[in-house]
Each structure stands twice: as C-alpha cells, then as structure tokens.
C-alpha cells in the first residue's frame, strides 16, 4: 500500500496513482488543454509553448481551432449563436448569473416552475424537478428514494453518479451483467421471497437502476424486456437518460421514444441537460407524489443553490425547439441530422475494419484501441491532423479495452465527418488498429 510522507495510507490507490502520473497527466493533446472558445462543432485549444515543459500553458499562447469530436454537443445547442444564445443573453441581463439561494429560500423563479412543467410534458410524466447538477441529481435522489433494508439492482456499467448514490443510500446493492436481462431476472428471482410474488419482500423496496444509452459502450438499454419483467417481478425502475434524452428516438424523447414504449412504464426518469441541450443540470420526471418527495428529501434540492436562470432559459428554449414549439422544423432537422451522422460514422468505421461498439444510431461511438499505450498515441496523432477526441481507459474501462469515444453532433457536416474518417483511417494504420474482417458462415 502506498504511504504519504507522514506514513499514512495515501488517498489514491496504486492504480490511480500509476494512471494519473504516467498516463492521463501525460496526455496534453485535446485532453488537459485549456480551451478558449465554445466547445461546438470546432473547439479552440491553446498550443504548447516553451513553458509547457513545466506542464503549464501560456494563457496568451497561440490558439488552434480543430474539429471537435469530443464534446457531448449532440444536437448542436452548445453553439453561442442562434435562438438559445439570444434568449440566454436577454435573461443574463435580466437575472444575472447566480441564484444566490436554494430552492426553498428565494431560489425558485417563475421560469424554473414553468420549465419543470415543460420537462414533465416533454418526458411524458406527471411532474418533474430540475436540479442544478446532473451528477448530484443521481447521487442525491437515490438516497432520497432508498435506504437501509432496500435493494438496488444495478447494471454493471452504470455511471459513477449512480454507483455513488446507491452506496450513500445504505441500501444493499446487487449488480447484474451489463444489459443482460437474463442475469437481471436471475438476480430478481433469487432476491425475492418465494411465494410472495407481488411484494418487494424481504426488502422494503426494490429499485432496478439502468441507463438509456451507455456512454462507454454506445449500447442502448434493453428497455422493452426490462419493462416486460415488471409484469413478472415487483420492482421500481430508475432510468438515467443523460446520453439518450434529446439524442435518441424520432422525437428526441429518449429510449422510450426509440422503442415506442410508454414513459409511464418507467417509474423514475432521470436525465441531464449537459449533453443534448447545451446547458447544465439534471431532472427527475415521475408521478407527482414521487417528485414532491424528492423536492423535500434530496439534499441537492434542499441544501444546494438552485439552478441559475440563464441556464434554465437555455434548457427552456432548446427543449421547445426539440418539441417543435419554437423554431419551426429546426428541432426535427437536428434530430434527423444527428441520427444520419451517427449511422454514417459508425458504419464507415466498421467498413474500414475497426472494432466499433454500440448501437448504429448511438451518437457516442467507441472505437477500440485495446492497449493503454495507444491511448495517448491516438489522441496525439489525431490532434496533429486537426481533430480533438476523447480517449478512455482504466479505471473507466477494463485495462485491455482502452478506447476512443467519438461524440457525433448535429452541428457536424458530412464534410467534417469525411475529413475525420480519413484521419482515423491513417492513424488506425499507424497504430495497427484495423482488424481484418473474418466472414462468419451465416453472413
């Protein structure tokens, strides 16, 4: 075990230290670089300077604009021009940028109340609450819903905020294999008292927690089968749509829309505004009594500053555009372009012989790099060619399945994507990432 200079156990584990010192901290390409403009279709990074040997950046150094495949700007609303930016500018002038108060004090604006009603309508549930941070939405809502004596059944690849919330709640946690409904059913069957099929006994409550679109895998939750399981086993279902809301389904309403399911079949619908809406914060949409309970019991609702009004404005305007209530067919056009871009990009990568994970319509596209040493090399080579990408490895993924995650946006043009594909092909050859396809008998 690592010790600090006083001989106490070091805060970070050996693996954490190894990776922070030797890997992630060394990546100075798109990673760890200060940006100096909107993270939109392109992003502007500071170039290295002589001072960089000390791992600092000359903040007045040369700037370089590169194609951005690294931000979760799925529908292109992060841009600082257009209807959202115009509306936000007016709101900043009117309200300033801070709430200076929690919800229950004087932090609830009329626009926030109105936007919560809009979110409920968009998601298709009775009520909704907006919380100022997506991470806190999960990590403080779960402890408000479950506690000691309850059972949380969690997908193996759930996001850190869900894992954290489940742990803090004090509930018992059981994990099922990623997106494997048979394994989920096994966990349910062996966790529920025999002969008491319609109660949660011996647990006070059973909560199954899944994501709509898993951002490390690009895999879409097998929601139809999980919803079907509800007919056989008693449990509540919690769905995190951070990456799917706005980005999936013909109307941008997430995985229920994608599969044609009724959102009311999911008890707790959670999502964030940091991706498709170009804003910040998270929401919970559910039955009114559940939302009222969260308002009173989630620490982020009671003890934290409420979401700021310009951010609420960004959510409000972008959501109304997606719903077609503002901006004519702009929302529909963005949803369509995102689906087309995502499909095109992952199909072309597969044709080139790369190992690409995920659903063909997922806007986050993981391409396998395998060896951790290829993480910084891929990032560096892409930046040389004018493209910013995000690379991920342990502990976010297993050590030998390090990967790059391309984030596709409706703001990308087909020319942008072709330019990126050419660069990826070159880098793929350089780093031996293309696996020649072996045809299976049934193909």
Q: Which residues bind ligand PMP (CB under 6 A)?
A: 133-135, 138, 159, 161, 211, 215, 240, 242-243, 272, 274, 282
Give min distance, CB of 443 to ligand PMP, in A: 34
Q: Closest CB to ligand PMP among 135 and 378?
A: 135
Rounded CA separation 364/357 (Å): 10
Give min distance, CB of 426 to ligand PMP, in A: 30
Q: Closest CB to ligand PMP among 209 and 367?
A: 209
Q: Closest CB to ligand PMP among 35 and 377?
A: 35
Pairing type for strands 282-286 and 268-272 reads: antiparallel
Q: Closest CB to ligand PMP among 139 and 200?
A: 139
Q: Closest CB to ligand PMP among 252 and 327?
A: 252
Give min distance, CB of 38 to ligand PMP, in A: 18
Q: Closest CB to ligand PMP among 71 and 272?
A: 272
Give min distance, CB of 217 to ligand PMP, in A: 11
Rounded CA separation 141/268 (Å): 10
Q: Closest CB to ligand PMP among 137 and 341?
A: 137
Rounded CA separation 25/33 (Å): 11
Q: Closest CB to ligand PMP among 261 and 407?
A: 407
Q: Closest CB to ligand PMP among 291 and 392?
A: 392
Q: Closest CB to ligand PMP among 274 and 379?
A: 274
Give min distance, CB of 71 to ligand PMP, in A: 11
Rounded CA separation 356/347 (Å): 9
Give min distance, CB of 273 to ligand PMP, in A: 7
Give min distance, CB of 60 to ligand PMP, in A: 30
Residue nearest to ligand PMP (CB): 134
Give min distance, CB of 1 to ligand PMP, in A: 31
Give min distance, CB of 350 to ligand PMP, in A: 24
- Tell me the three-class secondary structure of the chain, residue by residue: CCECCCCCECCCCHHHHHHHHHCHHHCCCCCCCCECCCCCCEEEEECCCHHHHHCCCCCCCCEEEEEECCCCCCCCCCCCCCHHHHHHHHHHHHHCCCCCCECCCCCCCHHHHHHHHHHHHHHCCCEEEEECCHHHHHHHHHHHHCCCCCEEEEECCCCHHHHHHHHHHCCEEEEECCCCHHHHHHHHHHHCCCCCCCCCCCCCCEEEEEECEECCCCEECCHHHHHHHCCCCCCEEEEECCCCCCCCCCCCCCHHHHHCCCHHHCCEEEEECCCCCCCCCEEEEECHHHHHHHHHHCHHHHHCECCCHHHHHHHHHHHHHHCCCCCCCHHHHHHHHHHHHHHHHHHHHHHCCCCECCCCCCCEEEEEEECCCHHHHHHHHHHHCCEECEEECCCCCCHHHEEEEEECCCCCCHHHHHHHHHHHHHHHHHCCCCCCCCCCCCC
Give min distance, CB of 9 to ligand PMP, in A: 29
């Amino acid at each position: 075990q690592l010790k600090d200079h006083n001989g106490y156990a070091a805060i970070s584990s050996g693996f954490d230290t190894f990776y922070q010192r030797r890997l992630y901290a060394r990546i100075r390409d798109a990673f760890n670089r200060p940006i100096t403009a909107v993270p939109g279709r392109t992003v502007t990074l500071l170039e290295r300077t002589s001072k960089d040997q000390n791992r600092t950046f000359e903040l007045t150094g040369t700037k370089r604009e590169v194609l951005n495949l690294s931000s979760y700007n799925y529908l292109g609303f992060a841009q600082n021009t257009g209807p959202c930016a115009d509306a936000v500018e007016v709101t900043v002038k009117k309200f300033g940028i801070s709430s200076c108060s929690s919800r229950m004090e004087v932090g609830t604006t009329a626009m926030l109340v109105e936007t919560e009603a809009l979110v409920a309508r968009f998601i298709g549930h009775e009520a909704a609450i907006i919380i100022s941070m997506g991470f806190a939405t999960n990590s403080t809502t779960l402890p408000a819903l479950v506690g000691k004596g309850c059972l949380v059944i969690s997908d193996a690849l759930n996001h850190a905020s869900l894992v954290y919330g489940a742990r803090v709640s004090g509930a018992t946690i059981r994990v099922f294999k990623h997106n494997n409904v048979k394994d989920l059913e096994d966990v349910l069957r062996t966790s529920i008292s025999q002969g008491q099929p319609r109660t949660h006994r011996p647990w006070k409550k059973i909560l199954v927690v899944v994501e709509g679109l898993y951002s490390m895998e690009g895999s879409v939750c097998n929601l139809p089968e999980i919803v079907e399981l509800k007919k056989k086993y008693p449990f509540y279902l919690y769905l995190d749509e951070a990456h799917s809301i706005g980005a999936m389904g013909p109307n941008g309403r997430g995985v229920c829309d994608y599969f044609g399911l009724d959102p009311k079949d999911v008890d707790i619908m959670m999502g964030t505004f940091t991706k498709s809406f170009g804003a910040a914060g998270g929401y919970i949409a559910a039955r009114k009594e559940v939302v009222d309970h969260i308002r009173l019991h989630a620490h982020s609702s009671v003890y934290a500053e409420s979401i700021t009004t310009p951010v609420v404005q960004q959510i409000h305007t972008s959501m109304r555009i997606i719903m077609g209530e503002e901006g004519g067919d702009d929302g529909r056009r963005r949803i369509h372009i995102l689906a087309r871009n995502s499909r095109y990009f992952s199909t072309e990568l597969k044709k080139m012989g790369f190992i690409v994970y995920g659903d063909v319509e997922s806007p986050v596209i993981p391409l396998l790099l395998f060896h951790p040493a290829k993480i910084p090399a891929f990032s560096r080579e892409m930046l040389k060619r004018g493209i910013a990408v995000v690379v991920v490895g342990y502990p976010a993924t297993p050590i030998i399945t390090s990967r790059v995650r391309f984030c596709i946006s409706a703001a990308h043009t087909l020319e942008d994507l072709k330019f990126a594909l050419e660069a990826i092909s070159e880098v793929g050859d350089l780093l031996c990432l293309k696996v020649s396809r072996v045809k299976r008998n049934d193909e």
